[in-house]
Structure 1
Amino acid sequence: MNFISKNILVILFSLIMLSCSTQSKNSFKAKKIYESKTLIITQISENCFIHTSFKQTNDFGNVPCNGLIVKDYHETVVFDTPTNDKSSEELIQWINENLDSKIKAIVPTHFHDDSLGGLMAFHKKNIPSYSYVKTIELARENNFVIPENSFNDSVILKVGDKDVIAKFFGEGHTKDNAVGYFPNENILFGGCLLKELEAGKGYLGDANVSAWSNTVEKVKKEYPDVKIVVPGHGDYGDGKLLDYTITLFKGQ
């Protein structure tokens, strides 16, 4: 084999390896990595994990409720608590032991118990909480555990050396529903503002249905590069969840 042939082989091999590496980065295969009777954790990207706990309801049965864990180096930020303190203690322990990470912040995205029902467990571990100012007002009015730190429009939190954003865009499921965004991986945690594909309208007791579509339009405009969208209940997906929710509440 002559020198030129060898060089061509080396270049081809390098290109194949680079292609495999790029492919594996771009096509992360989601996997369930923890499951108990009260908590499920699913890894959906290199640095993001959905935590799912359960809430027993009269109208909708035993409802699975999603939150999001964002990790960088040995730090995490958590969006929404599990539905109660016991499941939250389980989640905190799992993050500390299995992700070998310190929880920098817990961010409840609205005042219902599928978002802050386990907040006391985080406070007992001295984990700071951050919420939109209206969430704090509504938690206080309803005698729920109150988040410690408020933001008026948005807050940027550091996880490792990456930014994580929590932002309020307007009313929808509630008067206070914020969303979370991880720009490094273009992952949006929509919480109960966003619906899984084919979902119904769900609980509307605290909703502003006439504002809902417009609020989601603003989210869509703010994050045009979104790749993964996690709703408060049900299966995650992509930007189609934004479009589906907009259509569901259009003209209400």
Structure 2
Amino acid sequence: MRLLAKTCFLVIILGLKAYAGGDKPEVAYRTETLVITRLAENVYEHTSFLNTRTFGKVPCNGMVITAGKEAVVFDTPADDPTSAELIAWISSDVPRIIKAVVATHFHEDCVGGLREFRKHSIPSHASFGTIKLTKAAGFPVPDKGFREALALGVGDKKVEVRFFGEGHTRDNVVGYYPDEKVLFGGCLIKELNAGKGNLADANVKAWAETVRKVKAAYPDVKVVIPGHGKTGDKSLLDYTIGLFSGE
């Protein structure tokens, strides 16, 4: 009996570690246009698809944080119909009230569905830099601006948004959920073995140092979500730093 009890305890602990580390993420929802993956107890990754001239059909990641009866979304899906799909899933399947959506930079893979969020009276947040750049690019413009940092309440928890410096774009910010140590790096962070990607609006000389600042600010991070590709751990930060070091 003692051996059986110890074995069961070990299985439970290993299972919890695998779940927290995202070894086998649970796909909560899947269609041809949207995939929602549970990465932690209250954290989901949403993945939609953007057709581009240079890179073809690109999977684009965002994040959903839930707590109590509320949710906060990071980056919209690539278009309005897919954003409607995400909003419907959060509102009915989870279900939660969406308190806010945060755009982490001005590109279409972050703001392409803002009109749909606005249709549902969901306030959108972005840095003042992002607001300025979306206006210049002719993309949907977020409602509310902030300078260097923003704290948003979700249920009885907090999620942080911070600007650490330039990289993929001049305005890229990251989101961090301290309660479960999950970082949404957006397009500032690369998946393992990725190339440098779209550098049209990048500051490649500043990129590595910006990610070093992110790594120093969140030394206990467990899960890191890149803007494109496979989610991982803090090794994604080191990979991105190495990719752009020496530029």
TM-score (norm 1): 0.92
1:215 aligns with 2:206: no
Aligned to 2:88: 93
Separation in 2, partners of 1:11, 1:165: 45
Q: Whole-Å Cα distance in 1 between the matches of residues 10 and 123 of structure 2?
A: 42
Structure 1: which 5+ residue stretches go unaligned? 1-9
Structure 2 residue 129 is the aligned partner of structure 1 residue 129: no
Give RMSD over aligned pairs: 1.6
CA distance in 1, matches of 2:3, 2:123: 51
The equivalent residue for 2:142 is 147
> Would you say 1:26 and 2:26 are equivalent positions?
no
Is 1:70 paired with 2:65? yes
**1:202-227 deviations in Å (ceiling 9; x for gaps):** 01000000000000000000000000
1:68-120 Cα distance to aligned partner (Å, 9 max, x none): 01111111110000000110001000111111101111001000000111011
Whether 1:247 aligns to 2:239 is: no
How far is the alpha carbon of 1:155 from its aligned partner? 0.5
State the SS of the aligned residue for 2:40: coil
Q: What amino acid sits opposite 2:79 in the alignment?
A: N
The CA distance in 2 between the partners of 1:190 and 1:214, in whole Å, is: 14
Cross-structure match for 2:155: 160
Of 27, 30, 38, which residue of structure 2 is paired with 1:35? 30
Deviation at 1:20, TM superposition (A): 5.2
Question: For residues 170-216 of structure 1, what are the alpha-carbon distances to aligned partners after superposition, in whole Å with 9 as ceiling and x for unaligned?
Answer: 00000000000000110000000000000000010000000000000
Q: Which letter does structure 2 place at the counterpart of 1:25?
A: L
d(CA) in 1 for partners of 2:65, 2:33: 21
Q: Is residue 40 of structure 2 the alignment partner of residue 45 of structure 1? A: yes
Shift of 1:16: 6.7
Q: Pick the aligned partner of 2:188 from 186, 193, 196.
A: 193
Structure 1 residues 214 and 132: CA distance shift in structure 2, 3 A: same
How far the C-alpha of 1:21 sits from its partner, in A, is 4.8
Calculate percent identity across the aligned residue pairs.
51
Query: What secondary structure does 1:126 align onto?
Result: coil
Q: Which has the larger radius of gyration?
A: 1
Distance 2:243 2:207 in 1: 9
User: What amino acid maps onto 2:204 in structure 1?
Assistant: V
State the alpha-carbon separation in 2 of the partners of residues 106 and 13 from structure 1.
47
The count of corresponding residues between Structure 1 and Structure 2 is: 243
The change in CA–CA distance for 1:25 and 1:36 in structure 2 (over 3 A counts) is same
Q: CA deviation at 1:25?
A: 3.2
Structure 2 SS opposite 1:196: coil
Post-superposition offset of 1:24: 3.7
Aligned CA distance change for structure 1 residues 97 and 108 (closer, same or farther; 3 Å): same
Q: Which runs of 5+ in 2 are unaligned?
A: none
